[in-house]
Chains A and B, each alone.
Chain A
Amino acid sequence: MSDNFTENDKRRSFRVVRLFTIIVVTVFIGWYMIFHFLSARNYAIQINMITDSLFIEKIGKRFAPPSSENFWNTLTEKEKNRAFLNARHEMAQSDSVRMTIHLPDSTLWLEIKGLVVHTVLIRDVKLTASLRQIPPLAKAWWLSSPFKTIEHSSTIPHEPIVIKHAPADTIEAQNSPVLPPEPEDKLVYFTYKTDRNLTLHFNQWEDGNRKGYFCRKMKRELKSFGATLGYMLQFRYKPFEHRIEITLDKKDARTIYRALPEFPKIAVKISD
Chain B
Amino acid sequence: MSISEKIRSGFFRLYKSIAGNFSEWHIKIKPFVSWIRLFAAIVLILCIFLCFLTPLMENHTPGYFTHNTPSDSMLFSGKKPAENYLKNLKMETDKLDQGLRRLIPSRSYLVVNTSENKIYLFSGGKMIHEGICSTGSYTLLKAGADQQWIFKTPKGMFTIQGKTVSPVWRKPDWAFIEEGLPVPPANSHLRFEAGVLGDYALSLGDGYLIHGTLFQRFLGLPVTHGCIRLGDDDLKKVYQTLHIGSRVYIF
Specify which chain A residues have a CB less than 8 angstroms from the CB of B130 in the assembled complex.
none
Q: A78-B93, A166-B180 are in contact. Are A67 and B104 (CB under 8 A)?
A: no
Q: In the assembled complex, how far is the CB of residue B78 from the closest CB belonging to chain A, in whole angstroms?
A: 3
- 10 shortest A-B CB distances, which residue pairs? A62-B78, A167-B180, A114-B103, A133-B65, A44-B64, A40-B61, A166-B143, A85-B96, A255-B115, A259-B251
A-B contacts, CB under 8 A, total: 237
The residue of chain A having its C-beta at the shortest distance from the C-beta of B35 within the complex is: A14
Q: A62-B79, A64-B76, A64-B80 are in contact. Are A97 and B113 (CB under 8 A)?
A: no
Task: List residues of chain B with CB under 8 Å of any chain A CB.
Answer: 34-35, 38, 42, 45, 49-51, 53-55, 57-61, 64-70, 72, 74-86, 89-90, 92-93, 96-97, 99-100, 103-105, 109, 111, 113-116, 137-144, 150, 152, 155-157, 174, 177-181, 215, 217-218, 221-223, 249, 251
Judging by beta carbons under 8 Å apart, are B54 and A221 in contact?
yes
Q: In the assembled complex, how far is the CB of residue A63 from the closest CB belonging to chain B, in whole angstroms?
A: 5
Specify which chain B residues have a CB less than 8 angstroms from the CB of A41 in the assembled complex.
64
Majority secondary structure of chain A interface residues (helix, strand, loop or mixed)? helix
Specify which chain A residues have a CB less than 8 angstroms from the CB of B116 in the assembled complex.
251, 255
Per-position contact with B for A46-64: 1 when CB-CB < 8 Å, else 0? 0110011001100111111
- Of A86-94, A147-155, A205-213, the one touching chain B: A86-94
C-alpha gap A258/B178 in the complex (Å): 26
Specify which chain B residues have a CB less than 8 angstroms from the CB of A63 in the assembled complex.
75-78, 80, 82, 85
C-alpha gap A78/B86 in the complex (Å): 8
Q: In the assembled complex, how far is the CB of residue B45 from the closest CB belonging to chain A, in whole angstroms?
A: 6
Q: Kindly list 10 other residue pairs between chains A and B, CB separation below 8 angstroms, not including A55-B74, A89-B100.
A: A14-B34, A32-B57, A47-B68, A59-B85, A85-B96, A97-B155, A113-B103, A179-B217, A255-B115, A259-B114
Q: In the assembled complex, how far is the CB of residue A53 from the closest CB belonging to chain B, in whole angstroms?
A: 11
Specify which chain A residues have a CB less than 8 angstroms from the CB of B42 in the assembled complex.
21, 25
Judging by beta carbons under 8 Å apart, are B78 and A258 in contact?
no
Q: Which of A235-261 contact B (CB under 8 A)?
A: 241, 251, 254-255, 258-259, 261
Specify which chain B residues have a CB less than 8 angstroms from the CB of A224 in the assembled complex.
54, 58
Q: In the assembled complex, how far is the CB of residue B115 from the closest CB belonging to chain A, in whole angstroms?
A: 4
Judging by beta carbons under 8 Å apart, are A129 and B59 in contact?
yes
Task: List residues of chain A with CB under 8 Å of any chain B CB.
Answer: 14, 17-18, 21, 25, 29, 32-33, 36-37, 40-41, 43-44, 47-48, 51-52, 55-56, 59-67, 71-72, 74-75, 78-79, 81-82, 85-86, 88-89, 92, 95-97, 110, 112-115, 117-118, 128-130, 133-138, 159-168, 170-173, 179-180, 218, 221-222, 224-225, 228, 241, 251, 254-255, 258-259, 261
C-alpha gap A96/B251 in the complex (Å): 9
Specify which chain A residues have a CB less than 8 angstroms from the CB of B93 in the assembled complex.
78, 81-82, 85
Judging by beta carbons under 8 Å apart, are A134 and B65 in contact?
yes
Judging by beta carbons under 8 Å apart, are A161 and B78 in contact?
no
Judging by beta carbons under 8 Å apart, are B99 and A112 in contact?
no
Judging by beta carbons under 8 Å apart, are A135 and B68 in contact?
yes
Q: In the assembled complex, how far is the CB of residue A99 from the closest CB belonging to chain B, in whole angstroms?
A: 10
Judging by beta carbons under 8 Å apart, are A128 and B68 in contact?
no
Q: A37-B61, A259-B251 are in contact. Are A171 and B68 (CB under 8 A)?
A: no
Q: A25-B45, A71-B82 are in contact. Are A135 and B67 (CB under 8 A)?
A: yes
Judging by beta carbons under 8 Å apart, are A21 and B58 in contact?
no
Judging by beta carbons under 8 Å apart, are B68 and A96 in contact?
no
